Amino acid sequence: MVNEPVQPTSVIPSHANEAATQNGEVVKDTRTEAFLKAVNVPAHVPLSGKMMEFDAGGACVAGC
């Protein structure tokens, strides 16, 4: 969906009920890791306590 019909400027992956990060890194063999490998656009993983900012075009401008 992301690579073809939608084609966003960037994405923020999130999967319910999955501990996708640990110590600020993506956990191996998670759905989030698979998603990051599959998308053709910049993907910004959300981390607890870290705020990200995006411009109107979807580009991450802070906290990336």
Outline where 1-64 has alpha helix (H). Answer: 31-38
CA proximity to 48, closest of 26, 28, 21, 27: 21
HSE-up of residue 59 (Cα within 13 Å, Cβ side): 2
What pLDDT sits at residue 3? 67
Q: pTM value?
A: 0.72
Instruction: Give the pLDDT confidence score for residue 33 in this predicted structure.
Output: 92
How confident is the model over 11-61, as pLDDT tens digits?
888 877 888 888 888 899 998 999 899 988 889 888 878 898 999 888 889
List, for residues 38-51, the tens digit of each pLDDT value. 988 889 888 878 89
Domain that holds residue 6: 2-62
Which structure tokens are listed for 6?
A: 């939608």
- pLDDT for the residue numbered 29: 92
**Domain total in the chain:** 1
